[in-house]
């Protein structure tokens, strides 16, 4: 600990009352500085915490609204699929369906169900007799007329030429039995009515919801909604810059009202984007009022502290009491230093150890005489790739920092350590020392690794589980988009597995699943992923460019491998498998779609007689 210079002590002896007044005055200023520092930090932390709560609230509201909107879109899609079948069946079934839609769905939400023939003219409307109105130039009609795949199209907000009403068109292509284009079925949905339903999610007067198309066009907006139809959000929004992300948040000011809002957004399976914005000024007002009250209380307390310090200066009588108090404080700080659970190491400006505490010796086994004047590098093993403590300290000569390192005790035993660095500067502002806090986190990191594996790998087979598989598939698709390539998904379902459990017990079934996992792993490369979805379902991901024949040959190898008998204990068990194949980008452009297509193909293989594959 630091000592008072002898000249200062002599001055204190000669003029004790004056010295005491100086010490007390400086101490008062010191306390006030820390009081106001803590107050400012606490207020900043309170506002930061409230901002985080607002961000979480916006994210929750965005997800809830997204789920509601996607559910409504799914119901619209069900109607369109039914309407498409009705168009092919004839006018009467379509008319019956139109009446059902009119009666079952709120009329203020769905304006009409209609069919546009292959020439672009409406041939049916649930509102009654259709009027001549060419719709073949609408973007959603042109998109579906030239489409080769079956998909749901959601249009931008359009103004009806006859109704003069704003609407969003949900449309699907109608294809005849001969594969020819038979027009488009569409639901016209009122964005104004839909916005009225979305307002139930709002929290304050300055909050807003917005629903956008994939390219950023406004479809619905709760504030100033009508004025935004046909307009686009600025191109710097994160959901436009990062189309691979499914959700996120940002802060921006409104162009019309200038209100600063915290936005959270989610991307729906339909491609639409739901954004929730919470007005920050309104939401932060309560915590800012509390901060203002805290400021006033601190001002009063500071005034009282100044008065008390002034009274103390007058009341103090002798210098010896100050010396005793100083000695007591020194002993206390030394006790804290010596009894801290974390190891403390002082490193000088030349990166040499100049001091340690007892906890440092307990962790590393080194005493003071063994480390003083030496480099902290001696506390880590000298092997390639090791996270050397000396290198970490040298890499961060200023500021505060923390990191894990590979530790080496005095007896040669290794451990995982965690270090926190702080810089101590001299009166001239230059670095005098660095305070290094050491902790042994070996067990904590082991538990972290164990928790991570339990969350990402199947306990029975050791294969990646569904969550890790979906994460890897999304990463493969993102890479394939950036570097045009293919991703192959193979959905493997075991045939005749249930009789194994029924006849030989679940323990035998579990051993069989482990053997299946090993055979599948033996068939593929390290860059491929073999995962267990659950039960007797497995998925294989292959990020490679391969023609159709090569992929089918791989599926055949899987079927052949799993059709060979398995020796489980004394039992020779025979099963087989059905394999479904899906490829990016031919069969889908998202992880969920590809997995679904592969699952459907697998069931198609089972319908073909099992022990085979299908695309």
CA dist 97 and 126 (Å) reads: 9
Q: What is the largest CA-CA distance in the chain?
A: 113
Map residue 461 onto helix, strand or coil.
coil
**How much is the average pLDDT of 322-332?**
63
CA dist 376 and 67 (Å) reads: 55
**Tokens matching residue 6:** 């002898």
Residue 524 region, left (φ>0) first, then alpha (ψ -120 to 50), else beta? beta
Interval 447-492: pLDDT, tens: 877 888 888 999 999 999 999 999 999 999 999 999 999 999 999 9
Interval 239-298: pLDDT, tens: 999 999 999 999 998 777 788 999 999 999 988 999 998 988 888 888 889 988 988 998
pLDDT the model gives residue 330: 62
Torsion of CA 214, 220, 222, 223, to 10 degrees: 80
- Whether the CB-CB separation of 90 and 182 falls below 8 Å is answered with no
pLDDT the model gives residue 507: 93
Map residue 344 onto helix, strand or coil.
strand
- Whether the CB-CB separation of 608 and 575 falls below 8 Å is answered with no
CA dist 607 and 615 (Å) reads: 13
**How much is the average pLDDT of 492-514?**
94
Per-residue pLDDT for 11 more than 50?
no
CA dist 93 and 87 (Å) reads: 7
Calculate Rg over the CA atoms of the chain.
36
The H-assigned helical ranges of 434-590 are 442-456, 466-482, 498-504, 506-523, 548-563
Interval 506-545: pLDDT, tens: 999 999 999 999 999 999 998 999 999 989 999 999 998 8
- Whether the CB-CB separation of 162 and 133 falls below 8 Å is answered with yes
State if pTM tops 0.85: no
Give CATH 3.30.70.270 domain extents, the chain: 457-614
**Tokens matching residue 239:** 């959901």
pLDDT-derived band at 164 (thresholds 50, 70, 90) equals: confident
Sequence-ordered list of residues with C-beta below 8 angstroms from that of 535, at least 6 positions apart, any chain: none
CA dist 286 and 519 (Å) reads: 62
Could you tell me the sign of the dihedral formed by the alpha carbons of 149, 154, 159, 162, in that order? positive
pLDDT the model gives residue 337: 60
pLDDT-derived band at 320 (thresholds 50, 70, 90) equals: low
pLDDT the model gives residue 399: 64
Map residue 245 onto helix, strand or coil.
coil
pLDDT the model gives residue 9: 45
Q: How far is CA 241 from the centre of its chain?
A: 17
Per-residue pLDDT for 167 more than 60?
yes
Sequence-ordered list of residues with C-beta below 8 angstroms from that of 589, at least 6 positions apart, any chain: 477
Per-residue pLDDT for 2 more than 50?
no
**How much is the average pLDDT of 96-105?**
78
Per-residue pLDDT for 424 more than 70?
yes
pLDDT the model gives residue 432: 64
pLDDT the model gives residue 356: 86
Q: Which fold has domain 457-614?
A: Alpha-Beta Plaits (3.30.70)
pLDDT-derived band at 556 (thresholds 50, 70, 90) equals: very high
Beta strands at 537-542 and 487-495: parallel, antiparallel or unpaired:
antiparallel
Give CATH 3.30.450.20 domain extents, the chain: 340-447
Torsion of CA 359, 364, 368, 372, to 10 degrees: -130
Residue among 262, 234, 231, 228 at smallest CA distance from 248 = 262
Please identify which residue in the block is written with the tokens 């609408």: 138
pLDDT-derived band at 418 (thresholds 50, 70, 90) equals: confident
Q: For 113-138, what is the HEC assignment?
A: EEEECCCCCEEEECCCCCCCCCCCCC
Mean pLDDT of the chain: 85
Class of domain 340-447: alpha beta
- Whether the CB-CB separation of 515 and 571 falls below 8 Å is answered with no
Residue among 468, 467, 473, 562 at smallest CA distance from 515 = 562
Q: Which helix (H) or strand (E) holds 197?
A: helix 191-198
Q: DSSP string of 345-399?
A: EEEETTS-EEEE-HHHHHHH---HHHHTTS-GGGGS--STT---HHHHHHH--SS
């Amino acid at each position: 600990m630091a000592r008072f210079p002898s000249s200062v002590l002599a001055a204190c002896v000669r003029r004790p009352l004056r010295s005491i007044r100086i010490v007390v005055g400086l101490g008062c200023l010191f306390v006030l500085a820390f009081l106001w520092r803590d107050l400012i930090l606490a207020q900043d932390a309170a506002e930061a915490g409230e901002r985080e709560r607002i961000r979480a609230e916006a994210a929750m509201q965005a997800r809830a609204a997204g789920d509601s909107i996607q559910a409504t879109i799914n119901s619209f899609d069900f109607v369109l699929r039914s309407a498409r079948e009705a168009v092919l069946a004839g006018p009467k079934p379509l008319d019956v369906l139109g009446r059902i839609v009119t009666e079952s769905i709120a009329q203020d939400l769905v304006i009409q169900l209609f069919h546009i023939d292959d020439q672009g003219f409406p041939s049916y409307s649930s509102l009654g007799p259709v009027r001549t109105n060419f719709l073949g130039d609408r973007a959603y009609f042109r998109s579906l007329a030239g489409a080769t795949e079956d998909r749901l199209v959601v249009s931008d907000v359009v103004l009806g030429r006859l109704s003069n009403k704003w609407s969003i068109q949900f449309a699907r292509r109608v294809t005849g039995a001969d594969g020819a284009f038979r027009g488009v079925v569409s639901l016209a949905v009122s964005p104004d009515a839909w916005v009225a339903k979305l307002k139930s999610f709002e929290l304050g007067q300055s909050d807003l919801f917005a629903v956008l198309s994939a390219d950023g066009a406004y479809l619905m907006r709760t504030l100033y909604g009508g004025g935004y139809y046909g307009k686009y959000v600025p191109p710097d929004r994160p959901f436009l810059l990062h189309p691979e992300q499914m959700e996120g948040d940002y802060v921006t000011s409104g162009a019309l009202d200038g209100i600063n809002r915290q936005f959270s957004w989610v991307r729906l399976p339909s491609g639409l984007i739901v954004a929730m914005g919470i007005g920050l000024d309104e939401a932060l007002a309560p915590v800012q009022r509390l901060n203002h009250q805290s400021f006033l209380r601190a001002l009063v307390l500071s005034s009282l502290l100044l008065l008390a310090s002034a009274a103390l200066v007058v009341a103090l009588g002798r210098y010896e009491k100050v010396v005793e108090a100083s000695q007591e404080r020194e002993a206390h700080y030394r006790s804290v230093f010596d009894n801290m659970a974390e190891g403390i190491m002082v490193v000088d400006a030349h990166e040499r150890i100049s001091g340690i505490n007892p906890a440092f010796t307990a962790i590393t086994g080194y005493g003071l005489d063994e480390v003083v004047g030496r480099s902290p590098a001696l506390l880590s093993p000298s092997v390639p790739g090791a996270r050397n403590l000396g290198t970490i300290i040298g890499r961060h000569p200023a500021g505060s920092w923390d990191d894990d390192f590979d530790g080496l005790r005095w007896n040669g035993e290794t451990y995982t350590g965690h270090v926190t660095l702080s810089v101590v500067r001299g009166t001239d502002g230059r670095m005098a020392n660095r305070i290094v806090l050491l902790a042994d986190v070996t067990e904590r990191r082991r538990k972290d690794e164990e928790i991570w594996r339990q969350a990402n790998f199947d306990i029975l087979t050791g294969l990646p589980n569904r969550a890790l598989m979906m994460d890897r598939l999304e990463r493969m698709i993102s890479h394939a988009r950036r570097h045009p390539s293919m991703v192959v998904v193979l959905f493997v379902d075991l045939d005749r597995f249930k009789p194994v459990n029924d006849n030989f017990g679940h323990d035998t079934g579990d051993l069989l699943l482990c053997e299946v996992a090993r055979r599948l792993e033996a068939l593929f490369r390290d860059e491929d992923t073999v995962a267990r979805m659950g039960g007797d379902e497995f998925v294989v991901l292959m990020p490679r460019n391969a023609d159709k024949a090569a992929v089918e040959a791989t599926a055949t190898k899987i079927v052949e491998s799993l059709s060979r008998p398995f020796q489980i204990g004394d039992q020779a068990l025979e099963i087989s498998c059905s394999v479904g194949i899906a490829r990016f980008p031919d069969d889908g452009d998202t992880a969920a779609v590809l997995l679904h297509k592969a699952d459907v193909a697998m069931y198609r293989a089972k319908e073909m007689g099992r022990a085979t594959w299908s695309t």
